[in-house]
Amino acid sequence: MPLNKYAPQVLTHRRTESSILAATKHLIATVGLTKMTMIEIADSSEVSRATLYNHFRDKESVILALCQSECGRLINIARSALHATDALELLSIQVSTDSALAHLRTHDPAHLSIGLSAIHNRLWTDLTDTLCEITGSRVLSDVSLRWLIGQVFNPLTPQDSRLQAELLISRAHF
């Protein structure tokens, strides 16, 4: 079976995109969404502006890709848990301790509210479907998602994350 001759380029493309997204998340956590520019994203990710624009047409497309990446990361975390309670606890801790969300909560709450209220977005559907698989209930997945969204604005401690996750799961099975 012949090797894909484009494999090195694909790997480079993925590494570059990952670098751009990581830099974007760091910039959101430090300077905020509103003040962040494409120039800063390029500089922070150590890519040329041309490379950045080859990957993304504008700041909004970078943000969308970051949201998709973060939702995918959360889905993978949830699927790796052994039990629904563990999955909800892990997700809660991720949401409650995320530095980019913390900065948005303080400095860009309007943008954060808009993003969180776009419930018909495919990202929410994927996350809800994953929560449904994990919890075994569409209703519990919807409640869990709303619980997690609430933590964007009112983060929990890791201890509270565990306690509330246990409560959600135990109450759902009555």
Instruction: Give per-residue pLDDT as tens, 142-158.
Output: 999 999 999 999 999 99
78 three-state secondary structure: helix
Which pLDDT does position 12 carry in this prediction?
Answer: 76
Q: Is residue 72 part of a domain?
A: yes
> pTM for the full model?
0.88
Query: Does residue 3 carry a pLDDT above 70?
Result: no
Question: Residue length, the chain?
Answer: 174
Which pLDDT does position 2 carry in this prediction?
Answer: 54
From 30, 17, 22, 23, select the one nearest 100 (Cα to Cα).
30
Q: Is residue 1 part of a domain?
A: no
Q: What is the CATH number of the domain that holds 50?
A: 1.10.357.10
Q: Is residue 88 part of a domain?
A: yes
Residue 130: is it exposed, middle or buried by C-beta count within 10 angstroms (0-12/13-18/19+)? Answer: buried
Q: Is residue 24 part of a domain?
A: yes
Domain that holds residue 116: 7-172
Q: Is residue 12 part of a domain?
A: yes
Quote the number of domains for the chain: 1
Cα–Cα distances (Å) from 86 to 16, 56, 97, 117, 167, in that order, read: 33, 36, 16, 26, 12
Query: Does residue 71 carry a pLDDT above 80?
Result: yes
Longest dimension (CA), the chain: 57
Q: Is residue 2 part of a domain?
A: no
